Chains A and B, each alone.
Chain A
Amino acid sequence: MPEIKKSKSIIKGTQYTMNKKDYELLTRDIADSVNIREGTVLDTTLQSEKWYQTVWMRLKENKFAMISFYYTIFVLIMAIIFPLLLPGNPTDTSGAYTASYGGSANAYPTLRHPFGTDNIGRDIMTLVIAGTYNSMIVGVFSTTLFLSIGFPLGLIAGFYGGRIAEFILRLADFFLAIPFLLVAILGIQLVTKYGGFLSEFPVPVIILIVIGLFGWAGTTRLVYSTTLQVLTEEYISAAKTIGLSNFKIITKHIIPNVLAPVIVIGTIGIASGILAEAGLTFLGFGDILSDVSWGTVISLGVPNIVLHSNQVIIPGFAVFFIAVAVNLLGDALRDALDPRLKK
């Protein structure tokens, strides 16, 4: 069938201009846009620069974004390799018995213990470094979990509409109406203390599962509304006209165009996951003596805060710095992904 082939090839030729993001990224340069109109160098420019390369180029221009990017990478690497760097077990309390040379419990910062020791003689710097592990695990995997629930549900609701959408959106409403922190606290206490075989899991894993299970609704709403916007574009009706399957339309045309806000919400989700983990362990969920987490270090230091504020403030700043870095990265990504907001 030569006719259909011809129409397909036309669509293929214009596929790049149909992709909204590529189109916008291209048109930011006037010279390029002239070329598009004339249809000359269209294919070569597009193939030479993918959208993520453009985003990365823009991100590089932002100095603060790069600093926070490298800091986040640094903390991630620390979370993986910290056992190699630390002299001993982070929960080692032998500092309490070596009172000479700046040891002992509740020691002020010295060269031996740069951040001091806590009230049972553990080195706070070691605890802070080891705490990156739980923090990053919860931050990264809770985000992965809530995105992997929320993103497909939003796509399905947006693409198929009708009763499926109604059901999914009502479910999202339900999860948005639940007082998140209260139910998360309840769920974590339930699983850690009374969860049968589930309570064998480490506390951070339980925390990340609870955050992921209760936090997906916002993503679903966002993906749903963005999908609806994308569906009104002409390239979708073009794709439907040439008889592409639904699966192909979703994967080739909708997902790339919905991805930008999801990347941003995912980045910010990592920060809120880190904050939630530290907050929940601060409230006393988890084993204070065996789980090394920034929140438990803070809550253990609170009774001594008047004389030994370093026990609370330093782990607090550890949480704060990584949260600032990830949030800053999210903001920079939003600016880089949305060409309209560019200077």
Chain B
Amino acid sequence: MELETPIVDNNNISMMNKIKNFIKSVVSDRVTIYMARRILVLIPLWFGTAVLTFAMVRSMGSPADLYQGTGRQRDVAVAIIEEQFGLNYPLHIQFWMWLQNFFTWTFGYSGYFKVKDPSPFINDLIWQTAKLQYPALLIAISLSIPLGIIAAKNRTKIVDTGVSALALIGYSMPIYLSGYILIVIFAGGGLDIFPSGGSAIPNRPDIDWNLVRDGNSEAIEQLRFNIEDDLLHLVLPLIALTFFQLALYTRLIRSSMLEILGQDYILAARANGLPERTIVWKHALRNAIIPTITFIALSLGTALGGAPITETVFSWPGLGKVYVSSIFLIDMSVILGITMIITTLILLSNLLADILYVVIDPRLSL
């Protein structure tokens, strides 16, 4: 015990020092300039994507063209649609209006939801997609780190071959195959354990939180039912998504671990007689995890962008599914809104990756 206390203290001091050093380095000129540049670069990227998407949606024509009908009825309908979508204004004013709507989080008239302000719907979509994507990311990461390390440690043995084969299958298997296999086996005509699609049973009553707080037994029962229902619906899409992401991360960790384990300082640690566990989990993992952490930071943004196919397979009412439907309706506010929400997330996660790069790897020259 007497021996351990100074070690712990040492660790604490070194952690404190690290934090202090990091704060110092943030304050120092070079890092600040670097970060400021990274942040400033995001703005043109954001506007570039917005203009590109706006131009693409606008060149798809007017949603009024989709109206089926003839004669005076059609003229009236077209006039109403053009008024609703603001198509009477010149293009740059339309873009400006859209920008204002986006930053006030109202998005403008939506033909898909048929409301002037689809923000509650879009908030719900974001929640639905996040509820599916981020747990999958979390499970995949926490499983892939041990898997990748075990594979790298037992290189060319049967464990490594197995893990590599699993990873290969995982990232080669499209989600519309793994998803439908799961649906055939566990839902519908198969075992019928899990629901085959959707995020909740239709017309499920909402929870009255006031009643739950008061201890109303019916409301608590409803709450329990709703949570169970949510989890049941989540299982199959979560398995399909996790399998895919697990494969990606396992490959990444395995290859960076292999590279690190071949370095000279690992050899030196071995020669010094350090236990294998310390070498792998402390010396090697610390360096091997750097590319993975930046990749995770990037995935926080791109996870939402890859949603359309998964959500179509599991009829999940999220961003991707609504995005595809709204494209067929030329619903500009929803198309642009979803694209820019995801672009914003991607850019912010890029920034996060840059920051983490500086924090984790002090060798990095800026």
Contacts and interface: CB of A to CB of B under 8 A. Distances in A.
Contacts of B350: 177
Given A170-B41, A278-B174, A283 B309 contact: yes
B235 interface: no
A328 B53 CA distance: 36
Given A186-B335, A279-B176, A179 B343 contact: yes
Chain B binding site: helix, strand, loop or mixed by DSSP?
helix
Given A170-B41, A185-B324, A305-B184, A177 B343 contact: yes
Contacts of A328: 168
Contacts of B308: 181-182, 185, 283
B308 to A, nearest CB: 6
B25 interface: no
A190 B59 contact: yes
Using C-beta atoms within 8 Å of the partner chain, give the interface range for chain B. 35 or more
Contacts, number: 122
Interface residues of A, number: 45
Given A186-B57, A305-B183, A341-B258, 11 more contacts: A174-B45, A177-B343, A180-B305, A190-B56, A282-B309, A283-B308, A283-B309, A295-B176, A312-B184, A327-B168, A343-B156
B305 A319 contact: no
Contacts of A127: none
Contacts of B324: 185, 283-284
Interface of A: 170, 173-174, 177-183, 185-187, 189-190, 193-194, 271, 275, 278-279, 282-284, 295, 298, 302, 305-307, 309, 312-313, 316-317, 319-320, 323-324, 327-328, 331, 340-341, 343
Contact of A319 (B174, B189, B258): B174
A271 B177 contact: no
Nearest to B323: A182
Contacts of B61: 194
A174 to B, nearest CB: 5
B347 to A, nearest CB: 6
Contacts of B181: 313, 316
Interface of B: 41, 45, 48-49, 52-53, 56-57, 59-61, 156, 168-169, 171-174, 176-177, 180-181, 183-184, 188-189, 258, 262, 302, 305-306, 308-309, 312, 323-324, 327-328, 335, 338-339, 342-343, 346-347, 350
B184 A309 contact: yes
A152 to B, nearest CB: 22
A275 B175 CA distance: 10
A178 B49 contact: yes
